[in-house]
Amino acid sequence: MSQQEGYADDVVKGFIASSILWGAVAVLVGVLISFQLVFPQLNLPPYLTYGRLRPIHTNAGIFGFGIGSFMAFFFYIVQRLTKTRLWSPGLAKFQLWLFNVVIVLAAVTLAMGFTRSKEYAELEWPVALLVVILWVIFSANVIMTIIKRKEEQMYISLWYIMATLVGVAVLYLVNNAGIPVSLFKSYSAYAGANDANVQWWYGHNAVAMVLTTPPLAIFYYYLPKATGVPIYSHRMGIIAFWSLIFMYLWTGAHHLLWTPVPDWVQTLAMAFSVMLIAPSWGAVFNGYFSMNGQWHQMRENYLVKFLVFGITFYGLQTLQGPSQAVRTFSAFIHYTDWVPGHVHMGTMGWVSLTLFAAIYYTIPRLYGREIYSIGLANLHFWLAVIGQLIFSISMWVAGVQQATMLHATNSDGSLHYSFMETFIELYPYWHIRAVGGVIYLISVLVFVYNIVKTITSGEPAQSAVKA
């Protein structure tokens, strides 16, 4: 059962296990830094300060949990959609080792202060170089498998997978261009406003090519698997796909509104951000319409619950995002806690819930065992949703309150509040956010326990559990 139809699935197991580990680390570090904001004495210089830990949190989340599980599910999905064994299982095995080595190196070097400071591109050049090698062998394996496929038609998930492979490659290579000074130090190849514009072209399209297209590939594969009915419209999926990958690349400068980057670049970014609502909601509607006649499964099938909440948070995320990309609203909430609130709805809501569903579906099939406890899976679901909502909502309220105070003026035009007067108002919200994080961490621990118990002592699979 573990080698279904001759597919190379051992490496899928390895990537799932690794990604869960790094996901738990990301959440744990996230909780730690959320407490550091409230209790600065929790900063333990030099290695464990907020400034050094925050990139470890984001890199563990994006690269460790995100990319790790995408590698797992791309391998899993591609083999099944092409009805073809992985092109090179040996290469994939090497990739699994290299992946874990890179993540460990990333965590260690970042803690030691070897950083290039550009968000989600912090890793110093030797580690970044290993990331490139990782991506090349990963892409080669996936693309060669697709080329040698036995199923002629390529399902929509494969489109998103291939776009991810080229998209990430282009982004990563351009933004990481640098001038090395030593093994542990390099400078960006670009300067000032140029560097900013390149960085946020990269940064926002990391959201596109890492936090959007891969989870969509996974969503489009697992929703029909979980519900047992096909996706509503393949054509809508295709239209949404091309418009999504076309429009996303124009929007990076919405992170740079009101900065010295040329106005026309900002305006284009603003316009395309609003236009992105259409393809984003194309995917959301495709998900919802696929549920026609199947909504009762929300009650009966925990996998569907994860996926439908996931795509719902994606829908909310892609409405809130464009609103923030508008100059007037950006002037108000940019640089406040509103933005971390927004980001975490996407990561803890959309991406994570989708990945949890994929892991719950796949693990029993890889190991030939039933899931250990559906009750615990439901507990995991509710704790994750509640933890995330506490996090995001408290940050939105904090952001709006601070923004209001920062912009308040007296009748003579002077500012009503000093920076510190606005700052101290944030502490209560930061306490609440930390509580939300702890709840989310507990949900992850419940999830890990359930998965471990499934692998070690789940009931042997019934006939229903098949690929």
| Contacting other proteins within 187-216 (CB under 8 A) | 187-199, 201
Residues in region 56-115 near other proteins by CB under 8 A = 113-115
CB 227 within 8 A of CB 290: yes
Cα–Cα distance for residue pair 76/10, rounded to 1 Å = 10
Tell me phi and psi for residue 368, to 5 degrees: 65, 35
How many Cβ atoms are within 10 Å of 214's Cβ, its own excluded?
Answer: 28
Interface residue with other proteins among 10, 91, 98, 119 (CB under 8 A) is 119
Residue type, 76: Y
Quick one: how far is CA 377 from the chain centroid?
A: 21
Residue 167 found at the interface with other proteins (CB under 8 A): yes
CB nearer other proteins, residue 187 or residue 382: 187
From the CB of 337, what's the least distance to other proteins, in Å?
A: 8
Q: Which of 187, 295 has the CB closer to other proteins? A: 187
Look up residue 212 and give its two tokens.
């959007």
Q: DSSP code of 260?
A: S
Quote the least distance from Cβ 53 to other proteins, whole Å. Answer: 8
Residue 44 has what DSSP assignment?
B
Site for other proteins in 355-394 (CB under 8 A): none
Compute and round to an integer the Cα radius of gyration of the chain. 22
Helix (H, G, I), strand (E, B) or coil at 460: strand
**Binding flag, residue 300, other proteins (CB under 8 A):** no
Residue from 104, 136, 331, 459 in contact with other proteins (CB under 8 A): 331
CA distance linking residue 348 with residue 387, whole number of Å:
9
Residues 136-165 contacting other proteins, CB under 8 A:
143, 146-147, 149, 152-154, 158-159, 162-163, 165
Residue of 129, 228, 258, 295 interacting with other proteins (CB under 8 A): 258
Size of the site for other proteins (CB under 8 A): 97
Instruction: Single out the residue of 90, 262, 375, 460 in contact with other proteins (rule: CB under 8 A).
Output: 262
Contact 165, 140 (CB under 8 A): no
Under the binding rule (CB under 8 A), the answer on residue 46 touching other proteins is: yes
Q: Choose one: 47-55, 85-93, 216-224, 283-291; the region binding other proteins (CB under 8 A).
A: 47-55
* Single residue of 1, 4, 10, 54 touching other proteins by CB under 8 A: 54
Q: For residues 269 and 250, is the Cβ–Cβ distance under 8 A? A: yes
435 lines the binding site for other proteins (CB under 8 A):
no
Shortest distance, CB of residue 39 to other proteins, whole angstroms?
Answer: 8
Applying CB under 8 A, among 293, 299, 424, 457 the residue interacting with other proteins is 424
Whole-angstrom CA distances from 119 to 49, 54, 159, 186 are 17, 10, 27, 15
